[in-house]
Amino acid sequence: MKILLLEDDTVLADILVDYLEEEYEVLHTYSMKKALCLSEENTFDLYIFDINVPDGDGISLLKNLRNFNDETPTIFITAFHDTKYLKSAFESGANDFIKKPFDLEELTQRIENIKRHFGLSFLVNITKDLEFDTQNHIVTSKTSLEHLSSKESACLHYLYKNRHRVVSVEEMLQNLWEYDEMPSGDAVRTLIKELRKYVGKEHILNIRGEGYRFE
């Protein structure tokens, strides 16, 4: 699991990085602009953003990311206790909110909740009968075991994590390939065709003119 941490408090940032790196891969920055660059250059499983940083704020950053179809789950951390910030955070697309000071175990539980909700665990039950090993790229049923390519695995995982909505072909191109390696939409359609062989057509629906949705 790969986390982008935006936190300008140097002491807290060091504590969080040391703590999180025991379990996860963490990239940290003090700058909103740098965080935006990192989000464009990498694929993250979770964002942890401070609201108030020297060159901007985490809420504006998340609004920007959401406008570009980045649905990466996000936890805000902040010293603000005013409910208007809580409201703004969730309106920007946040998934959780934690107030300073907080216990590290509380952060762990919030991350675990995000993992359960968005299918970020190592093993994911994507349907009643199918288990998806996201690290080894394997889909297992009671009667078969299918090895996926890394790109097929990434596509299936992305669709599953965003199963509450329709995902467009353009969005998958932006999130599954580097900008200078981006193929045509046919590459996505080919991936979907292969994945349907493994998980069934009934679980990856084609929403005409819009994209695909995992059911």
Return the residue matching tokens 């981006």: 182
Asked if 2 and 27 count as a contact pair (C-beta separation under 8 A), the reply is yes
User: In Å, how far are 4, 45, 109, 170, 184 from 188, measured between CA atoms?
Assistant: 26, 21, 35, 9, 8
pLDDT grade for 6, boundaries at 50, 70 and 90: very high
Per domain, the residue ranges of the chain are 2-118, 123-214
Is it true that domain 2-118 has CATH number 3.40.50.2300?
yes
Please give the residue that has the higher pLDDT: either 20 or 68: 20
CA-nearest of 180, 208, 204 to 192 is 204
Asked if 2-118 and 123-214 have one fold, the answer is no
The fold adopted by the segment(s) 123-214 is Arc Repressor Mutant, subunit A (1.10.10)
Asked if 156 and 128 count as a contact pair (C-beta separation under 8 A), the reply is no
d(Cα 58, Cα 56) in Å, to the nearest integer? Answer: 7
Instruction: Provide CB contacts within 8 A for 81, sequence distance 6+.
Output: 99
pLDDT tens-digit map of 162-173: 888 899 999 999
The type of residue at 38 is L
**Cβ–Cβ contacts within 10 Å for residue 104, how many?**
11
Inform me whether the pLDDT recorded for 50 exceeds 90: yes
Q: Which residues pair with 190 in a beta bridge?
A: none
Task: Say how many Å lie between the first and final Cα of the chain, rounded.
Answer: 24
pTM of the model: 0.65
